Amino acid sequence: MKSLDIKLKKISDGSSTAKDFIIADAKDADMGCGRSAPGLLRNQDGSQSDKLDSFQNYLNKMQSLTESELVDVMLMSATAAERLVNKKIFEKSSVTPAMRLNDTSCIWAMIRNGDYEKEKSRVFATTQLRHAIEYVDLGLYSMTFNKDVDLDVKMLNAYRDFRDEAEKIGMRHFLEVFNSSVIDLDQVRMGEYVNDCILKTLAGQISKEKPLFLKIAYNGPKAMEELASYDPGNLIIGILGGGKGTTRDCFELVSQAYKYGARVALFGRKINLSENQELIVTVMRKVVESEMTPEEGVKFYHDSLIKLNLKPDRKLEDDIKITEPVFIN
């Protein structure tokens, strides 16, 4: 049995502890930003070069983290999933392979020289479910609400059609809901807006078609707590990582999110762009399990990098700073 299923059962029946916190490695960026998805190639000492890494090395990092079993889910593009599932790396692993099943226009924001983040999100899906089910039985479906009746109806209709097709072929899913990049709302009101849009969307679904869990932005303690307390055990909240930020930002995010009710973290850049992906996930777990504070976690992370003869991207005094306002209560 996969660790994801074991942990979801415990979360649902109320018997979970911090050790059951679910971590997913979101290495599906090739569906959103293309060539820059793997990040920069690292030198022998761990420092970043000025060259983009290869897709093969991106796959190697997915395989390495899967084999470490430090994460519970490996989220991939269709291309990556086909290659790694065919290598049978998940057969005897506790890690669940998953695939991004749609790519709405809001995830194209990191395409170089593009301005898609200035536009309201549009419905789109490259991946075909009939092919996806050959490799995985879990996928991510993504939505963004625009405060635009016509576009939001299209978004909701597409999600309804997806659920119908997914149910017929036995594809489970988790639901990603982004904050819109074009709606002019402050953090508190954005949290309220997204929470209400999520709950109204889920209210019209019966249990067998609902997502296993959510993947949303952390909009602060109030928004997280009110959503997590709405229907505990049945509505499981996961947080997305957003930008790389500092290492302190990463550890603050998992710490605060868990404190206020999230039980899943789905991180892309915060893992992939780190100096050592296995190490940063290890420390994330230590922080969630209260073995160390976020600040102590940064110091431990830097000390560990030095022992591995790896050069940190930032000086400790810079990396220990909180740079994302949402974490300052």
Quote the CA–CA distance of 56 and 217 in Å, as a whole number: 29
Distances (CA, A) of 243 to 2, 34, 112, 207, 247: 29, 16, 16, 33, 11
CATH code of the domain made up of 3-327: 3.20.20.70
Whether residue 275 contacts residue 281, with contact meaning beta carbons closer than 8 Å, is answered with no
Per-residue pLDDT tens digits for 63-104: 999 999 999 999 999 999 999 999 999 999 999 999 999 999
- The answer to pTM > 0.85 is yes
Q: How many CA atoms are closer than 13 Å to the CA of 97, on its beta-carbon side?
A: 27
Q: What is the pLDDT of residue 328?
A: 83
- Residue owning tokens 């930003």: 33
Q: What is the DSSP code string of 20-52?
A: G-EEEEEE-GGGTTGGGTT-EEE-TTS-EEEEE
Placement of tokens 């990582």 in the chain: 241
Residue 60, both tokens: 């190697």
Give the separation between CA 53 and CA 29, rounded to whole angstroms.
13
d(CA 261, CA 228): 5
Query: Would you state the structure tokens that stand for residue 134, as one six-digit string?
Result: 């050959």
**pLDDT for the residue numbered 20:** 98
To 10 degrees, the CA torsion angle through 12, 180, 141, 192? 20
pLDDT at 329 over 70: no
pLDDT digits (tens, 9 = 90+) for 265-304: 999 999 999 999 999 999 999 999 999 999 999 999 999 9
Name the phi and psi angles at 21, rounded to 5: -60, 130
Residue pLDDT, tens place only, 217-247: 999 999 999 999 999 999 999 999 988 899 9
Statement: residue 212 has pLDDT above 90: yes
Both tokens of residue 201? 């969307």
